[in-house]
A and B are shown apart, each in its own frame.
Chain A
Amino acid sequence: MSSSSIVEAPPKGGFSFDLCKRNEMLSGKGVKHPNYRKTGTTIVGLIFQDGVILGADTRATSGPIVCDKNCEKIHFMAPNIYCCGAGTAADTESVTDMVSSQLQLHRYHTGRESRVITALTLLKKHLFNYQGHISAALVLGGVDCTGPHLHTIYPHGSTDTLPFATMGSGSLAAMAVFESKYKEGLNKKEGIKLVTEAICSGIFNDLGSGSNVDVCVITKVGKLLPDIFQFLGRSFSLYQFNFVLNGCGTGGKRIHEKPLKTQSTHIRQCEGIHLPQEDRLVSLSLLQQISI
């Protein structure tokens, strides 16, 4: 907000640091930093015989609370390139959006389809520039004229090129599945099955990952023309809404949940205390004998 302009014109882009001093002063006074939304996450990618398969879970957390049960972590970069993101949700979304626009402009400029290595370089340059403060860990995959490619990008800007990759808090669980079952030259069905298994392993073993599995298959077909990705969507849905409760008195069905297992303990009636007839597990200090 310069003194020469009375009206604050929209800035040209980039970050603005004018609230930093105030926020620092507040944390000096003991005020806690807010919880940003993280995508706890398990994200994976693998190369199979016809291209690349990417997979991700769909849970977004804010501290210990799940704030989005069904968020999309597989971001569009180019028609033949997709990117999964883990880390701070705002960072992964903005960084992938920004590089996606830059790739589009590049496509218009050159008249050619985008290469995966271009997306990789744009992303790593941006992330290295901010020295890891932009907390985005990405799995980038795509098929271009030079073949299928899969890369991982770390928040500080380092990259790896791999045949199979996992990132996020559930990466160890997913990597265990990959390391035991991956082999070169998988076909599409086997590839999808392996990716789903890896994500499920992350979902069940990692608390930061959960809900459903998103799978994205990118292939090359015909004469070096990449096929449009196939977003298989929710191939494994863990979340089912069966429970309907109407607490508002306007009439509605109440569906009773059938429990998996019930164990009743018969309690002998004590003198002077009238216990109801139905079997119920009750603990009272006056209990004389419990017979199961």
Chain B
Amino acid sequence: MSIFEYNGSALVAMVGKNCFAIASDRRLGVQLQTIATDFQRISKVHDRLFIGLSGLATDAQTLHQRLMFRHKLYQLREERDMKPETFASLVSALLYEKRFGPYFCQPVIAGLSDDDKPFICTTDSIGAKELAKDFVVAGTAGDSLYGACEAMFKPDMEPEELFETLSQALLASVDRDCLSGWGGHIYIVTPTEVKECTLKGRMD
């Protein structure tokens, strides 16, 4: 049993035209038993930056607390929000610090950088950044998500179409994974608004 399969998760972020969307499943389990069906994996760092953490839930929570702490210190010192690229480097550095005893966590970072250009990034559990121009995936449903997103992604999608594409990809992939599912949370972020939706999926 891999440590990443202890809690189960599915995370995906996709880029559209001047917008991005980040989605996750809602299940929290202990191996094969489900203990929560409304677990929040994605959290807001600031209005234009979101981070989702997949993998072992306890490490995800610890890492989340450390990141919020560092971001708040940054806000106090610099009197502004962190840029997504900077935040991605911070996440990478925090994870690489624990190179020989890592957090069992795979983050997905999505944000709007300067000129409202969408930025998405994922890292492995020791901080190797992967910047993509189309989509990034993480979690136990990762393999299915690669396939679904590869087939359904189109460049320059408007927010409505992006929402539709991403929810279809997420729900299709978590249906093929026992450890993730029970619906989905999806955030669509444009320069002017943040829309949060809860999706209904198969409850099994």
Contacts and interface: CB of A to CB of B under 8 A. Distances in A.
Contacts of B127: 90, 94
B164 interface: yes
Q: How big is chain B's contact interface, by range? A: 35 or more
Given A245-B152, A247-B152, A36 B126 contact: yes
B158 to A, nearest CB: 10
Contacts, number: 101
Interface residues of A, number: 44
Interface string A1-41: 00000001011001111111111001000111111110000
A32 B56 CA distance: 13
A15 B99 contact: yes
B74 to A, nearest CB: 10
Interface stretch (B32-40, B109-117, B128-136, B193-201): B128-136
Contacts of A94: 96, 127
B164 A250 contact: yes
B151 A245 contact: yes
Contact of A89 (B2, B101, B124, B165): B124
Contacts of A65: 142-143, 146
A133 interface: yes
Contacts of B70: 10
A102 interface: no
B168 interface: yes
Interface in B18-49: none
Contact of B101 (A10, A11, A22): A22
Contact of A34 (B4, B69, B146, B161): B4
Nearest to B125: A34
A88 interface: yes
B100 A133 contact: yes
Contacts of B1: 30-32
A68 B132 contact: yes
Contacts of B164: 248, 250
Given A31-B3, A94-B96, A248-B168, A19 B102 contact: yes
A225 interface: no
A71 interface: yes
A214 to B, nearest CB: 15
Nearest to A7: B69
A17 B151 contact: no
B101 A17 contact: yes
Contact of A248 (B104, B143, B161): B161
Nearest to B105: A34
A224 to B, nearest CB: 36
17 contacts: A16-B98, A16-B101, A17-B98, A18-B101, A19-B103, A20-B100, A36-B125, A37-B124, A60-B128, A65-B142, A65-B146, A90-B99, A90-B127, A246-B154, A248-B164, A248-B168, A250-B161
Closest 10 CB pairs of A and B: A20-B101, A89-B128, A90-B128, A19-B101, A37-B124, A90-B126, A32-B2, A248-B164, A37-B128, A31-B3
Given A246-B154, A250-B164, 6 more contacts: A15-B99, A30-B1, A32-B3, A34-B2, A88-B128, A93-B129
Interface of A: 8, 10-11, 14-23, 26, 30-37, 60, 62, 65, 67-68, 71, 88-91, 93-94, 133-134, 243-248, 250, 252
